[in-house]
Amino acid sequence: MDIFDKYATIIGRHDKVLEAGTDPFAVRVDEMLSATEAMIGGRRTILLGTNNYLGLTFDPTAIDASVEAARRDGTGTTGSRIANGNYAQHQELELELAAFLKRRSCMVFTTGYQANLAMIAGVAGPRDVIFMDSDSHASIYDGCTLSGAKVIRFRHNDPDDLDRRLARSPEGECKLIIVEGLYSILGDTAPLKAFAEVKKKHGAWLMVDEAHSLGVYGGEGRGVAEAQDCEADVDFVVGTFSKSLAAIGGFGAANHPRFDCLRFCSRPYMFTASPSPASIASARASLRRMANDPNLRAAIWNNAERLHAGLRQLGYTVAAAPGPVAAIRLPDEATAVAAWNRLLQLGVYVNLAVPPGTPNGACLLRCSLSAAHAPAQIDEVLGRFERLSQSLRELATA
Amino acid sequence: MVDVTSDKDVAGSDEVFKEVCGLVTRFAPEGMALTPDTELAAQLNIDSVAAMDLVMEIEDHYNIDIPINEIADLRTLGDLAKLVRRHVKG
């Protein structure tokens, strides 16, 4: 027996995707031209699937800070925060993030994925119960598994279903609810205020992953909890540097006075190398820009409204209300793969999202907006989506 | 029409097995006999996410909660019925 036999089905599916053209899960970017354009397969391509929400990957101040940090502190820390990898910059960023988020404490992690692993497996343990939204990101599922807690899944964005499940749960267990602010695949937001009421009713704890909403939602960009005016009821905030902050890393923040015990209790924090000096420096610069430049939020919202309205006008079904993500529903996987390839040929890069990575078996073309997109680029993209419509009609009648 | 064949072993001969079969019927190809040995992934094409969604329907049906930690090892309909029976009995 081959040790990879267990992947035979998924390898077969992947082979079928390859028959349709380019591998959507291994697109090679030959050269980045800007925050919104790249050379892919010899073609100048508009990037509409990078999660670069504020478009800060080429921010000159962030680049300078990053280069300076690499020259000053080196290319890597070669160690964990609990050993030799605890630099002044890590702690400075933690203080700055805590101040921005209006939280007592903040911890920085090496990636956004690890932020969820560290926060969930640090906060919850084998004697606790986690109640997680069914549409949660893989990092949340994996964090739940790592925690050893009992994990109950509730229906997506359904506070009544959560209420019923909490009511069935025995007294005397610590209960942690985990939801996301903005769900990255469909682009819908959580009804956090309603979840907060359920949390209070049952004496549970609430963790919100604002990975895709930080910098985009809320008057000051703190995320969906700020936008819904319920931050005080959120016990733990998780986020990432790899979207709005245009770097690599993640964070967790809380007001709990014992929160910092995770520095010596959470394995994904303790047993991995700390973020590189260059990444921390650019995250700090981007955080300052994000906090002080509300025009970035205005720009991405304008672009979001423009794209969503245009797609709907062209007859596409967009999964959620206008926001930084526009997920276009397609009838099946073969159509989605064909549409994705056609768009790439037309010079537009989006994300292909298919089961089991999507909820309810949805097949999607997932687009994400950036503040750096010019309105003319959005119009150009819409023109190419119009040509895609024609291709899809031809495909349907073939 | 799907044939529910529950007499293959004791685990499959009860009401829970029949009710679980009722919930998975839509995944079964026309004419397939559902037995305790029917494989969820290989024969019914129920992937990991579909299995979790199916368990949610079962939870609603019986007003129980089945932690997802207990779902990972499910292979057959018989395994699923056994898991449900354990939680229904409390």
Selecting from B47, B56, B69 the residue whose C-beta is nearest the C-beta of A155 gives B56
Domain boundary among A254, A274, A292: A292
Q: Are A298 and A288 members of one domain?
A: no
Residue A24: closest CA among A301, A363, A259: A363
Binned at pLDDT 50, 70 and 90, residue B7 comes out as very low
In 3-state terms, what secondary structure has residue A293? coil
Is the predicted pLDDT of residue B6 greater than 90, yes or no? no
Q: Are A204 and A244 members of one domain?
A: yes
Domain boundary among A229, A264, A292: A292
User: Best of A6, A128, A147, A153 to disrupt the B interface by mutation (most B CBs within 10 Å)?
Assistant: A153
* Distance from chain centroid for Cα A169: 30
Strands A175-180 and A236-240: unpaired
The number of folded domains in chain A is: 2
Domain boundary among A292, A319, A339: A292
Using CA atoms, how far apart are residues A23 and A96, in angstroms rounded to an integer?
40
Q: Are A84 and A184 members of one domain?
A: yes
Is the predicted pLDDT of residue B14 greater than 90, yes or no? no
Selecting from A151, A165, A355 the residue whose C-beta is nearest the C-beta of B68 gives A151
Is the predicted pLDDT of residue A202 greater than 90, yes or no? yes
User: pLDDT (tens digit, 9 = 90+) per residue, B51-66?
Assistant: 999 999 999 999 999 9
User: Best of B39, B40, B46, B49 to disrupt the A interface by mutation (most A CBs within 10 Å)?
Assistant: B49
Using CA atoms, how far apart are residues A112 and A213, in angstroms rounded to an integer?
13
pLDDT at residue number B8: 45
Give the gap in angstroms from C-alpha B41 to the nearest C-alpha of chain A: 10
Give the gap in angstroms from C-alpha B65 to the nearest C-alpha of chain A: 7
Is the predicted pLDDT of residue A87 greater than 70, yes or no? yes
Q: Are A172 and A101 members of one domain?
A: yes
Collect all residues from A whose CB is shorter than 8 A from any CB in B. Answer: 9, 134, 144-145, 150-153, 155, 165, 168-169, 355-356, 359-361
Q: Are A242 and A338 members of one domain?
A: no
Q: Are A282 and A299 members of one domain?
A: no
Q: Are A258 and A229 members of one domain?
A: yes
Is the predicted pLDDT of residue A146 greater than 50, yes or no? yes
Using CA atoms, how far apart are residues A288 and A260, in angstroms rounded to an integer?
24
Q: Are A23 and A33 members of one domain?
A: yes
User: pLDDT (tens digit, 9 = 90+) per residue, A255-269?
Assistant: 999 999 999 999 999
- Name the closest residue on chain B to residue A10, using Cα atoms: B47
Using CA atoms, how far apart are residues A15 and A27, in angstroms rounded to an integer?
15
- Name the closest residue on chain A to residue B55, using Cα atoms: A153
Amino acid at A98: A
Q: Are A145 and A229 members of one domain?
A: yes
Q: Are A20 and A97 members of one domain?
A: no
> How confident is the model over A299-320, as a mean pLDDT?
98
- Name the closest residue on chain A to residue B64, using Cα atoms: A168
Contact criterion met (CB < 8 Å) for B49 and A359: yes
> How confident is the model over A381-398, as a mean pLDDT?
93
**pLDDT over 90 percentage in chain A:** 96
User: pLDDT (tens digit, 9 = 90+) per residue, A28-86?
Assistant: 999 999 999 999 999 999 999 999 999 999 999 999 999 999 999 999 999 999 999 99
Quote the CATH superfamily of domain B3-89: ACP-like (1.10.1200.10)
Q: Are A330 and A375 members of one domain?
A: yes
Q: Count Cβ atoms below 10 Å from residue A270 Cβ, excluding itself.
A: 16
What phi and psi, each to the nearest 5 degrees, are found at residue A392? Answer: -65, -35
pLDDT at residue number A166: 97
* Full residue range of the structural domain in which residue A332 is found: 5-57+294-397
User: Best of A152, A160, A363 to disrupt the B interface by mutation (most B CBs within 10 Å)?
Assistant: A152
Q: Which residue has the higher pLDDT, A344 or B6?
A: A344
pLDDT at residue number B4: 57
User: pLDDT (tens digit, 9 = 90+) per residue, A312-361?
Assistant: 999 999 999 999 999 999 999 999 999 999 999 999 999 999 998 899 88
* CATH assignment of the domain containing A361: 3.90.1150.10
* CATH assignment of the domain containing A163: 3.40.640.10
Q: Are A336 and A365 members of one domain?
A: yes
Buried b (16+ CB within 10 A) or exposed e, B49-64: bbbbbbbbebbeebeb
Q: Which residue has the higher pLDDT, A238 or A171?
A: A238
